Amino acid sequence: MSASHPPVRRYRPPAPLGGRRHASGGLARRSAGAFAFLAPALIVIGLFVIWPMVSALRLSFTDASGFGREEWVGLENYVTVFTDPDILNAVVNTVQYTVLFTPAAVLAALGLALLLVNPHLPFRSFFRTALFVPFVISFAVAAFAWSYLIDPQVGLLNHWLGGLGIRMGNVLQDPTLAMPAVAFVAVWKLFGFYFVIFLAGLQDIPSSLYEAARVDGAGPWSRFRHVTLPLLSNTMAFVLVFAMIAALQAFDQIYVMTGGGPYGHTQTVVMEIYESGFRKLEVGFASALSYVLLAATLILSLVQFVFFGRREKDLSS
């Protein structure tokens, strides 16, 4: 594709996250029509997602093991969630992971999108594809490949860096390096998806706005702040929320690379959920922990939506 502009059409302001409001009237009739559209998806989600979620909620108030006898224990599991030091450790680790992953992934994605929107960059098509390929690899395979690369005995990276005089040591068993390492693998795998979304968002900003800013004497940083960022805010909100949700649920590569170690330094909340449920057969407790995670994620996401919603209002004024 040559560096042409998207097809000319009347410029529309960004879609607000809350959706537009319609003229009222005939609500009941329209509701019935809407239901027909919603039915297939709602049946599937209601039956196969929401119903198990309700089941899990019920389980969280029991000492169930998934099979056999179960007894009602009320809020006991939830009390354990908030008082058990291992859970606290997992929460701290999960927060640490989220703080490492989310900005890194989003900034990398945004930075590369800004670089690749430049029409003069050679081989843009190749780079766009290359940066997206990790997304296609599964987390387990990615974790396996990276573990092999940084293996203290036979790792290629260790060998190359050793040649440059940098001793990597045993990264995955180092209490300070293990968490950044597993966060890095996730950034590697997921940033390509966010990158593509940012690229789309950037390409949709009409160059006329940049021209106007340039004419007004704005430099590159000023143009970025006053043209790019505001018009990207919806995209940014979308990417941030989903990146954060992905970070809060980190599991696959941690399971493969460190198993939660060294001595619990990479144990995340979902690792605890998996261990409690599948290793210790404490399904009731695992469900309670899952619901606390759900509540935390929901609150954090709503906060983000409200924050970006407010910025939108500022812009449209």
Structure tokens belonging to residue 175? 């209490």
Q: Binding residue for other proteins (CB under 8 A) from 77, 93, 94, 235?
A: 235
Instruction: Give SS3 for 8.
Output: coil
Q: Going residue by residue from 181 to 220, which x/- string records binding to other proteins, judged by CB under 8 A?
A: -------x---xx--xx-xxx-xxx-x---x---------
What is the chain's alpha carbon radius of gyration, rounded to the nearest angstrom? 24
Look-up: residue for tokens 């860096």? 161
**Residue 58 touching other proteins (CB under 8 A):** yes
Q: Binding residue for other proteins (CB under 8 A) from 168, 245, 304, 309?
A: 245
Q: Please state the closest distance from residue 230 (CB atom) to other proteins, in A.
A: 11
How many of the other CB atoms lie within 10 Å of CB of 305?
16
Q: Binding residue for other proteins (CB under 8 A) from 73, 105, 109, 142?
A: 142
Q: Which residue's CB is nearer to other proteins, number 15 or number 164? A: 15
Question: Helix crossing, 178-203 with 124-132: angle to 10°?
Answer: 140
Region near other proteins per CB under 8 A, out of 8-16, 74-82, 91-99, 306-314? 8-16
Q: Please state the closest distance from residue 317 (CB atom) to other proteins, in A.
A: 19
Cα distance between residue 62 and residue 284, in whole Å: 5
Contact 198, 234 (CB under 8 A): no
Q: Which residue's CB is nearer to other proteins, number 73 or number 275? A: 275
Number of residues engaging other proteins in binding (CB under 8 A): 132
Cα distance between residue 124 and residue 108, in whole Å: 17
Contact 274, 251 (CB under 8 A): yes
Cα distance between residue 148 and residue 48, in whole Å: 38
Q: Which residues from 77-106 bind other proteins, rule CB under 8 A?
A: none
Q: Binding residue for other proteins (CB under 8 A) from 8, 37, 71, 83?
A: 37
Cα distance between residue 89 and residue 85, in whole Å: 6
Q: Which residues from 106-135 bind other proteins, rule CB under 8 A?
A: 108, 112, 115-116, 118-122, 125, 127-135
Region near other proteins per CB under 8 A, out of 74-82, 87-95, 98-106, 138-146? 138-146
Q: Binding residue for other proteins (CB under 8 A) from 15, 71, 164, 317?
A: 15
Q: Going residue by residue from 254 to 283, which x/- string records binding to other proteins, judged by CB under 8 A?
A: -----x-xxxx-----x--xxx-xxxxx-x
Q: Which residue's CB is nearer to other proteins, number 136 or number 317? A: 136
Region near other proteins per CB under 8 A, out of 75-83, 95-103, 144-152, 306-314? 144-152
Q: Which residue's CB is nearer to other proteins, number 148 or number 307? A: 148
Q: Which residue's CB is nearer to other proteins, number 96 or number 173? A: 173
Contact 181, 99 (CB under 8 A): no
**Residue 293 touching other proteins (CB under 8 A):** yes
Distances in whole angstroms, Cα of residue 244 to Cα of each of 80, 141, 208, 270, 304: 25, 22, 33, 14, 10
Long-range CB contacts (within 8 A, 24+) of 227-231: 228/114, 228/202, 230/311, 230/315, 231/14, 231/201, 231/205
Contact 262, 282 (CB under 8 A): no
